[in-house]
Structure 1
Amino acid sequence: MVPGGFVRHLAVCVLAATLVGGFSVRAAADPVVGSTNVATADPTVPRPPGQPCVVTLFTNVAFDDFGTRPYSYAPPTSCSGSWSKVVLEADFSVTAGRQYDRTATLWLGGVNLYFGTTQEPSKTVSPAWHVERDLTDYAALLRNAGQGQAIIGNLVNSTYTGVIHGSARLLFYPASAGARAAEAPDAVYPLGSDPVGSTVSLNTSSDKLSRTLTLPTNVERAYLDVFTQSQGGDEFWYTCVPDAYAAQVSECGGGNFREAEISIDGQPAGVAPVYPWIYTGGVDPYLWRPTPGVQTLNFMPYRVDLTPFAGQLSDGNPHEVAVQVAGANGYFSATAALLVYRDAHAKQVTGKITRNTLAGQAPTPTIGNTLVTASNGDIAGDITTKLDRHFVIEGYAMTSHGRITSSVTQNTGFDDTQTFTINSSTYRQLTSQRTWTDSKSESRLGNFPVAERQQHVSYPFTLDYNQQLASDGSTSAASTVHQGYRQRDELHLFGLLAYGANVDNTVDSQDTLVFDASGSLTSHSGQQSAQTFAFHDTRGSCYRAALTTQAGAVASYNAGQGCPDGTNRVSWFAHPDGSPSSSLLPGH
Structure 2
Amino acid sequence: MLPRGNSKCGPWLCGLLGALSIAGPCPVDASAVGSTNVTVADPAVPRPPGTPCVVTLFSGDSFVDFSDHPYSYAPPSGCGTHWAKVVLEADFSVTAGRQFDRTAQLWLGGVNLYYGTTQEPSSTVSPSWHVERDLTDYSALLRQAGTGRAVLGNVVNGTYTGVIHGSARLLFYPASLRAPGALTPDSVLPLGSDAVGNATLLDTSDSPLSKTLTLPTNIDRAYLDVIAQSQSSDEFWYTCVPDSYAAEVQECGGGNFREAEVSIDGQPAGVAPVYPWIYTGGIDPYLWRPTPGVQTLNFMPYRVDLTPFAGLLSDGNPHTVAVNVAGANHYFLASATLLLYRDPHLRRVRGGLLRNTLVGQAPTPTVGDTLVTDTGGNVSGAITTRLSRHYVIAGYAITSHGRVDSTVDQTVAFTDTQSFTIDASTYRQVTDQLTSVDGVSRHRIGRHLVGEYHQRLRYPLHVDYSFDPTSDGGYVMETQVHQGYTNDIRREFAGRTLYAAHVSNTVDAGDTLDFDGSFNVTGHSGQQNAQSFAFRDSLGGCYRTDVASADGVVTDDATGVGCTGGENHVYWFTRPDGSPGSGSALLGW
Is the contact between residue 84 and residue 175 of structure 2 (CA under 8 Å) also seen in structure 1? yes
- Superposed counterparts of 1:160-309, under 5 Å: 160-309=160-309
Cα 1:409–1:69 change in 2 (3 A) is same
Report the CA distance between 1:519 and its aligned residue.
1.4
- Superposed counterparts of 1:297-446, under 5 Å: 297-446=297-446
SS of structure 2 residue aligned to 1:308: helix
Q: Provide the C-alpha distance between the structure 2 equivalents of 1:30 and 1:52, rounded to a whole number of angstroms.
A: 26
The C-alpha deviation readout for 1:137-159, integer Å capped at 9, x for no partner, is 00000000000000100000000
Q: Provide the C-alpha distance between the structure 1 equivalents of 2:466 and 2:553, rounded to a whole number of angstroms.
A: 24
The C-alpha deviation readout for 1:277-322, integer Å capped at 9, x for no partner, is 0000000000000000000000000000000000000000000000
Unaligned segments of structure 2, at least 5 residues: 1-16
SS of structure 2 residue aligned to 1:78: coil
Cα 1:437–1:120 change in 2 (3 A) is same
SS of structure 2 residue aligned to 1:211: strand
Q: Provide the C-alpha distance between the structure 1 equivalents of 2:68 and 2:30, rounded to a whole number of angstroms.
A: 32
Report the CA distance between 1:582 and its aligned residue.
1.2
Cα 1:64–1:331 change in 2 (3 A) is same
Q: Provide the C-alpha distance between the structure 2 equivalents of 1:330 and 1:30, rounded to a whole number of angstroms.
A: 45
Q: Which residue of 2 aligns with 1:580?
A: 580
Report the CA distance between 1:25 and its aligned residue.
4.4
Opposite residue 385 of structure 1, the aligned amino acid is T
Count of paired positions: 572
Q: Provide the C-alpha distance between the structure 1 equivalents of 2:24 and 2:227, rounded to a whole number of angstroms.
A: 29
Is the contact between residue 183 and residue 583 of structure 1 (CA under 8 Å) also seen in structure 2? no
Is the contact between residue 573 and residue 586 of structure 1 (CA under 8 Å) also seen in structure 2? no
SS of structure 2 residue aligned to 1:193: coil
Q: Which residue of 1 aligns with 2:5?
A: none
Cα 1:585–1:213 change in 2 (3 A) is closer
Q: Provide the C-alpha distance between the structure 1 equivalents of 2:580 and 2:547, rounded to a whole number of angstroms.
A: 26
User: TM-score when scaled to structure 2?
Assistant: 0.96
Is the contact between residue 180 and residue 587 of structure 1 (CA under 8 Å) also seen in structure 2? no
Q: Provide the C-alpha distance between the structure 2 equivalents of 1:185 and 1:284, rounded to a whole number of angstroms.
A: 42
Cα 1:324–1:585 change in 2 (3 A) is closer
Q: Which residue of 2 aligns with 1:472?
A: 472
Opposite residue 352 of structure 2, the aligned amino acid is K
Report the CA distance between 1:22 and its aligned residue.
2.4
Report the CA distance between 1:473 and its aligned residue.
1.7
Q: Which residue of 1 aligns with 2:519?
A: 519
Cα 1:442–1:259 change in 2 (3 A) is same
Q: Provide the C-alpha distance between the structure 1 equivalents of 2:112 and 2:28, rounded to a whole number of angstroms.
A: 23
Report the CA distance between 1:351 and its aligned residue.
0.6
Report the CA distance between 1:207 and its aligned residue.
0.3
Q: Provide the C-alpha distance between the structure 2 equivalents of 1:542 and 1:486, rounded to a whole number of angstroms.
A: 15
The two structures, once aligned, show a CA RMSD in angstroms of 1.4
Opposite residue 523 of structure 1, the aligned amino acid is G
Is the contact between residue 383 and residue 419 of structure 1 (CA under 8 Å) also seen in structure 2? yes
Report the CA distance between 1:79 and its aligned residue.
1.2
Is the contact between residue 26 and residue 568 of structure 2 (CA under 8 Å) also seen in structure 1? no
- Superposed counterparts of 1:29-48, under 5 Å: 29=29, 32-48=32-48
The C-alpha deviation readout for 1:74-122, integer Å capped at 9, x for no partner, is 0001112420000000000000000000000000000000000000000
Is the contact between residue 467 and residue 476 of structure 1 (CA under 8 Å) also seen in structure 2? yes
Q: Provide the C-alpha distance between the structure 2 equivalents of 1:67 and 1:265, rounded to a whole number of angstroms.
A: 35
The C-alpha deviation readout for 1:432-477, integer Å capped at 9, x for no partner, is 0000000100000011110000000000000000111123221100
Q: Provide the C-alpha distance between the structure 1 equivalents of 2:158 and 2:533, rounded to a whole number of angstroms.
A: 39
The C-alpha deviation readout for 1:187-219, integer Å capped at 9, x for no partner, is 100000000000001010000000001000000
SS of structure 1 residue aligned to 2:310: helix
Q: Which residue of 1 aligns with 2:455?
A: 455
Q: Which residue of 2 aligns with 1:488?
A: 488
- Superposed counterparts of 1:109-188, under 5 Å: 109-188=109-188
Q: Which residue of 2 aligns with 1:10?
A: none
SS of structure 2 residue aligned to 1:574: coil
Following superposition, which runs of at least 4 residues in structure 1 exceed 6 angstroms of deviation?
A: none
Is the contact between residue 229 and residue 334 of structure 1 (CA under 8 Å) also seen in structure 2? yes
Report the CA distance between 1:27 and its aligned residue.
6.2
SS of structure 1 residue aligned to 2:287: helix
Cα 1:26–1:88 change in 2 (3 A) is farther
Q: Provide the C-alpha distance between the structure 2 equivalents of 1:375 and 1:240, rounded to a whole number of angstroms.
A: 25
Cα 1:517–1:81 change in 2 (3 A) is closer
Q: Provide the C-alpha distance between the structure 2 equivalents of 1:578 and 1:556, rounded to a whole number of angstroms.
A: 24
Opposite residue 82 of structure 1, the aligned amino acid is H
Is the contact between residue 21 and residue 48 of structure 2 (CA under 8 Å) also seen in structure 1? no
Q: Which residue of 2 aligns with 1:7?
A: none
